[in-house]
């Protein structure tokens, strides 16, 4: 069985979670099966698409073997993320219906795809990460704190996400104002630039950020960032299956997250949930509370990339017969 991965990962797309998830899976599968990455040749039994765009659609038109696409995003994820979400969201059904099989990254995603009348069979397989790589490095963490002017005894709350309303940027700023004794760090920028939802409003809000909030933008070495943090804060209103949440949990970071269906599905009761930003009080940052949730992070091993890769191989074998 020969498999070709097709991923739109140039320009702004290389910073998105779908490209990261695809590369994580490709690296692991390359240890187990014959596989290529964005090979223009069509001499394969199966092509696995992770995004759609000009290059992938041209390949799909030429390819004669079996095809599968992973739905890293669904139409609802564009609302609050892009300025004109309907320009993209309407394309999902006609494009997804061109494939032989669809992989949904959560059961919630699967239900949404079914609701918009996607006809191919849909299988849920969650994203995975190399949990061996995401382990805390104390020295890196201390150096990163020093670089940002954060003291050793200051509690650091970390978010890694695009700067958009859907990701909860406004709630992040509100929480920082409510808790001036803690430091708040947001890693990430505007991959869609002017097409990002509320680009100008968010940019203005960040310029007026409280003194305990820090926005360094994109950071190449994410291990140093996770290693510097004390707790991960995920205020997103909707997700597929978040790669950064998996990474943070693998790093042993206790997590405060919005009380939404997809987080309960993937993470059960292993996170500190909030419905409204007003729910988050000092008790959420209590040392004993954080330590109890830190101990729960070991469950992330269920999303180790070798296990996720095996699920994909079984599906490939089923599809190709």
Statement: residue 13 has pLDDT above 80: no
Same domain, 65 and 210: no
Residue 269 lies in a domain: yes
Mean pLDDT across 140-146: 98
Same domain, 243 and 273: yes
Same domain, 147 and 27: no
Residue 193 lies in a domain: yes
Same domain, 224 and 243: yes
Joined tokens for residue 133: 């790589």
Joined tokens for residue 11: 């320009």
Statement: residue 251 has pLDDT above 90: yes
CATH number assigned to the domain comprising residue 204: 3.40.50.2000
User: What's the chain's Rg over C-alpha atoms?
Assistant: 20
Statement: residue 190 has pLDDT above 80: yes
Residue 203 lies in a domain: yes
pLDDT of residue 12: 59
Same domain, 95 and 46: yes
Q: Residue 299 in 3-state DSSP?
A: helix
Decide: residue 78, CB within 10 A, 0-12 exposed, 13-18 middle, 19+ buried. Answer: buried
CB 245 within 8 A of CB 234: yes
Residue 160 lies in a domain: yes
- Predicted model pTM: 0.94
Which residue is it, tokens 């309303």? 165
Residue 261 lies in a domain: yes
pLDDT of residue 25: 97
Same domain, 171 and 194: yes
Statement: residue 214 has pLDDT above 90: yes
Condensed to tens digits (0 to 9), the pLDDT of residues 84-115 reads 778 778 889 999 999 999 999 999 999 999 99
Q: Quote the CA–CA distance of 23 and 48 in Å, as a whole number.
A: 12
Joined tokens for residue 168: 């909860």
- The residue ranges of DSSP E strands in 203-301, in sequence order, are 213-217, 231-234, 255-258, 272-274
Decide: residue 33, CB within 10 A, 0-12 exposed, 13-18 middle, 19+ buried. Answer: middle
pLDDT of residue 153: 93
Same domain, 124 and 147: no
Statement: residue 306 has pLDDT above 80: yes
Give Cα 182 to chain centroid, integer Å: 25
Residue 102 lies in a domain: yes
Same domain, 91 and 164: no
Same domain, 218 and 296: yes
Give Cα 198 to chain centroid, integer Å: 21
Mean pLDDT across 226-237: 98
Quick one: DSSP state of residue 234? Answer: E
Give Cα 118 to chain centroid, integer Å: 23
Instruction: Look at phi and psi of residue 198 and say left if phi exceeds 0, alpha if psi is from -120 to 50, else beta.
Output: left
Same domain, 149 and 294: yes
Closest Cα to residue 129, out of 4, 28, 206? 28
Residue 41 lies in a domain: yes
Residue 173's pLDDT band (cuts 50, 70, 90): very high
Structural domain including 69 reads 2-128+304-320
Decide: residue 190, CB within 10 A, 0-12 exposed, 13-18 middle, 19+ buried. Answer: middle
CB 239 within 8 A of CB 258: no
Q: Residue 109 in 3-state DSSP?
A: helix
Residue 133 lies in a domain: no
Mean pLDDT across 218-228: 96
Tell me the DSSP string of 270-290: SSEEESSGGG--GGGG-HHHH
pLDDT of residue 296: 97
Q: Quote the CA–CA distance of 283 and 64 in Å, as a whole number.
A: 58
Q: Please report, rounded to a whole number, the percentage of residues in the chain having pLDDT higher than 70.
A: 98
Domain count, the chain: 2
Strands 213-217, 183-187: pairing is parallel
CA distances from 239 to 5, 114, 170, 214, 306 (A): 23, 17, 17, 24, 23
Statement: residue 18 has pLDDT above 90: no
pLDDT of residue 76: 85
Same domain, 101 and 197: no
Same domain, 93 and 147: no
Q: Residue 235 in 3-state DSSP?
A: coil
CB 18 within 8 A of CB 73: yes
Statement: residue 14 has pLDDT above 70: no
């Amino acid at each position: 069985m020969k498999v070709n991965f097709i991923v739109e990962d140039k320009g702004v797309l290389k910073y998105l979670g779908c490209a990261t998830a695809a590369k994580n899976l490709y690296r692991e599968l390359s240890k187990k099966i014959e596989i290529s990455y964005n090979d223009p040749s069509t001499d394969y039994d199966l092509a696995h698409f992770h995004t759609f765009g000009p290059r992938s659609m041209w390949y799909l038109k030429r390819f004669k073997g079996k095809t599968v696409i992973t739905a890293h995003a669904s139409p609802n994820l564009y609302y609050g993320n892009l300025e004109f979400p309907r320009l993209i969201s309407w394309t999902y059904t006609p494009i997804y219906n061109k494939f032989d099989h669809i992989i949904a990254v959560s059961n919630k995603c699967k239900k949404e795809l079914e609701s918009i009348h996607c006809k191919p069979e849909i299988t849920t397989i969650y994203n995975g990460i190399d949990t061996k790589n995401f382990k805390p490095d104390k020295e890196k963490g201390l150096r990163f704190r020093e670089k940002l002017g954060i003291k050793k005894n200051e509690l650091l709350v970390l978010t890694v996400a695009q700067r958009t309303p859907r990701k909860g940027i406004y709630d992040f700023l509100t929480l920082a104002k409510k808790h001036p004794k803690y430091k708040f760090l947001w890693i990430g920028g505007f991959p869609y630039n002017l097409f990002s939802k509320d680009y100008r409003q968010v940019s203005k809000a960040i310029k007026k950020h409280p003194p305990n909030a820090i926005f360094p933008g994109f950071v190449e070495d994410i291990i140093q960032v996770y290693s510097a943090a004390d707790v991960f804060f995920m205020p997103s209103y909707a997700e597929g299956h978040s790669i950064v949440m998996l990474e943070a949990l693998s790093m042993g970071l206790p997590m405060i997250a919005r009380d939404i269906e997809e987080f309960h599905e993937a993470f059960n009761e292993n996170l500190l949930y909030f419905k409204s930003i007003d729910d988050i009080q000092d008790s959420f940052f209590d040392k004993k509370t954080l330590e109890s949730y830190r101990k729960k992070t070991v469950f992330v091993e269920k999303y180790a990339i070798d296990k996720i890769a095996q699920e994909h191989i079984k599906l490939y074998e089923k599809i190709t017969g």
